[in-house]
Amino acid sequence: MTTLRPTQETYAELQHAYDSFNAELFGGELPECLITLQRERLTYGYFSAERFSNREGRRTDEIAMNPVYFAVVPLVEIMQTLAHEMTHLWQFHHGTPGRGRYHNEEWADKLESIGLMPSSTGQPGGRRTGDRMSDYPIAGGLFLDTCDKLLTQDFRLSWYDRFPTYPALLAGQQSYSLTMDLPENVATVAANTGVDMATDIATALSEGISAYPLTSKKRDKTKYTCPCGVNVWGKPKLRIICGNCGDPFLASICAEEE
């Protein structure tokens, strides 16, 4: 048996997921793109239209995936990120993207049509549109059905970052998919791979070699974000209402430079 080199293995797995989603969720409408790994802070992934060009003058889009999350959030959520960014790619080629980072109604409708519910909080009750958007799987929807076919014992993301950031670990613990009754393959693959990765990460952290330690010498403060994308920082346990949209701010922990 030939062992693939890490670069080949990683990108072959991501390409396989892209091809599966393109066929099952987008009817094969999407062109090829260049998938990259980027450690963009507090971002699961992003889409950049026509970011790359070759020497023959061809252009291609970029979908970036953040490997910091690969080991600490459920695999189905990594696949959500890929499908989320593929929806941006679909809209660039077949629709009308919103200005800047804005996720408009057309994008939200398309995402919902493939079985992911757009949500500013990543959970039920969030806004469907905005600058910073997440999503969650729709029970019985097309996305989970496709994942159930894809996430068998033959599919995995073999390589992962052993030194996840604190926000990534927190995101994994708060994942909405953990509260759902997921299809059998989706749940089984996540359980089987998650134990081994968690043990490996815990060992790395205990050896004190993490590039992203769980404890910080910085002074912690709390970041508050409202569904319309406004951020404020302050002391823990504040209760703040946004003057723009009238919704409460949601808290997340960040670190303040000394």
How many Cα neighbours within 13 Å face the side chain of 173?
8
pLDDT confidence of 212, banded at 50, 70, 90? very low
Q: Which residue has the higher pLDDT, 155 or 103?
A: 103
Q: What is the pLDDT of residue 258?
A: 29
Examine the domain organization and report whether 55 and 142 are in the same domain: yes
Longest pairwise C-alpha distance within the chain: 61
Q: Is residue 1 part of a domain?
A: no
Mean of the pLDDT values across residues 237-252? 76
Whole-prediction pTM value? 0.78
Q: Is residue 241 part of a domain?
A: yes
Examine the domain organization and report whether 56 and 166 are in the same domain: yes
How many Cα neighbours within 13 Å face the side chain of 139?
9
Strand 231-234 versus strand 250-256 pairing type:
unpaired
Contacts of residue 93, defined as CB under 8 A and 6 or more positions apart, other chains included, come to 29, 30, 31
Parent domain of 245: 219-256
Examine the domain organization and report whether 49 and 90 are in the same domain: yes
Query: Number of folded domains in the chain?
Result: 2
- CA 219 to chain CA mean position, Å: 27
What spatial distance separates the first Cα and last Cα of the chain, rounded to whole Å?
Answer: 52
pLDDT at residue 200 tops 70: no
pLDDT-above-70 percentage for the chain: 83
Mean of the pLDDT values across residues 152-178? 84
Greatest mean pLDDT among 1-10, 34-43, 248-257 lies in 34-43
Contacts of residue 203, defined as CB under 8 A and 6 or more positions apart, other chains included, come to none
Examine the domain organization and report whether 199 and 242 are in the same domain: no
pLDDT at residue 50 tops 60: yes
Examine the domain organization and report whether 61 and 134 are in the same domain: yes
Asked if 34 and 61 count as a contact pair (C-beta separation under 8 A), the reply is yes
pLDDT confidence of 211, banded at 50, 70, 90? very low
Q: Is residue 41 part of a domain?
A: yes
Asked if 197 and 71 count as a contact pair (C-beta separation under 8 A), the reply is yes
Contacts of residue 182, defined as CB under 8 A and 6 or more positions apart, other chains included, come to 76, 137, 144, 190
pLDDT confidence of 227, banded at 50, 70, 90? confident
Q: Is residue 214 part of a domain?
A: no
Examine the domain organization and report whether 64 and 88 are in the same domain: yes
Q: Is residue 212 part of a domain?
A: no
Examine the domain organization and report whether 194 and 225 are in the same domain: no
Examine the domain organization and report whether 191 and 230 are in the same domain: no
Examine the domain organization and report whether 226 and 199 are in the same domain: no
Q: 24-28, 71-75, 203-207: which range is least confident on average?
A: 203-207
Examine the domain organization and report whether 101 and 200 are in the same domain: yes
Q: Is residue 211 part of a domain?
A: no
Examine the domain organization and report whether 30 and 106 are in the same domain: yes
Examine the domain organization and report whether 69 and 118 are in the same domain: yes
Q: Is residue 159 part of a domain?
A: yes
Strand 59-65 versus strand 33-37 pairing type:
parallel
Q: What is the pLDDT of residue 210?
A: 47
